[in-house]
Every structure is written in structure tokens, then in C-alpha cells.
Amino acid sequence: IFSRASESKPSLYDLKTNWRNTKNEKVSIDIARGSLTLIAMVYTSCAHACPMTISKVQEIQKDLLAAGFKNIKVVLASFDAKNDRPERLKKYQEARKLAQDQWIFLSPESESDARQLAVTLGISYKDLGNGDFSHSNIIALLDKNGIQLASIDNLNSSADVFVSAMKSKEENSK
């Protein structure tokens, strides 16, 4: 019989994985600790789903800002450990005109680091070879301590779940 000692949810920031930012600095997955964080996994050579994921994150970010929630960071971690090195992620971020003070792109140190994050977020992916991946599209919202507050697993899902989760968190902390 499994019993939970406390009702607290685990923090994604407890994950011991190794990443590099676009400046090629070694960082951990808790790089956005202290901020509301939208997190997703993408890869830069993706022609369809990943650009749509980024657009969806921008929509969610806009909705959260409109609802009065500020200081929202975005972490996009790649699962393409072989090709998405820091310099490539930097060029991609610049090409997409994604603000460096809000958007954090992470390159995994190893395939294992990418896989651990993906499993924790509930993202499945498979390297199809030739630079392509089959993957699910999950976007999650983390509180300032890395606790997941909400997520969507479909890019057609409403962003309302994120605003509702934040309003609920606000009410529960009063």
C-alpha cells in the first residue's frame, strides 16, 4: 500500500540534469527559479509542431500577462542532444526574435538529461534519424519553486487552464 507522507507535489527543480544555455554556460533546470515559468521541449530543426508550440507559449504568456501575472519566464529545453548545441539555439532564438530576458533555451548535456526531463514532464519522443523526431507537445506552467500548476498536451487546447491555475493559486495563498 502506498501512502503519501505529505500532499506536496514534487518540484521539477529537484531533477538532477545538466544543461547549457545559449551562452554555453553550464546551468541546471532550475534556471528560472523565483519566476512563474512556462516550460516545453522542442528541437530547432522541427518544421511544424515546435514552431506551433512556441506560438502557443506566446499566446499563454500574453493571456497570463493580461490577467495580471507578471515576471513570466519561458524555458524551452531541446531533446535533440546531438544537434541543438548552444550556438544553434542562440541563432534560433535570435531568428524567432524571442527576448533573451524572458526566453531561456537549454541544450542537454546528454541524451539522458533530455530523456529525464521529458519523462518528468510527460513528454514522449523518438529520434527518427535524419534530424527528425516524433514527439508529444506538452506545455507546463511551474510556480516559482518548480511545482507544476497546469499543463496542456494539445496545441489546440485553451490557454484558460493556465490563468485558472494562477487565480486558484492566488486564492489559496490568501
Cell numbers linked to 60: 499563454
Statement: residue 1 has pLDDT above 70:
no
pLDDT, residue 168, reads 86
* Higher-scoring residue by pLDDT: 5, 31: 31
The per-residue pLDDT for 104 is 97
In this prediction, residue 56 has a pLDDT band, given cuts at 50, 70 and 90, of very high
Strands (E), 48-157: 72-78, 103-108, 125-129, 132-135, 139-142, 148-152
Give the E-state strand segments of the chain in sequence order: 19-20, 26-27, 36-42, 72-78, 103-108, 125-129, 132-135, 139-142, 148-152
Q: Is the pLDDT of residue 101 over 70?
A: yes
Residue 7 pLDDT greater than 70, yes or no: no
Share of the chain above pLDDT 70, in %: 95
Q: Is the pTM of this model over 0.85?
A: yes
Per-residue pLDDT, 159: 85
Work out the average pLDDT over 147-162. 92
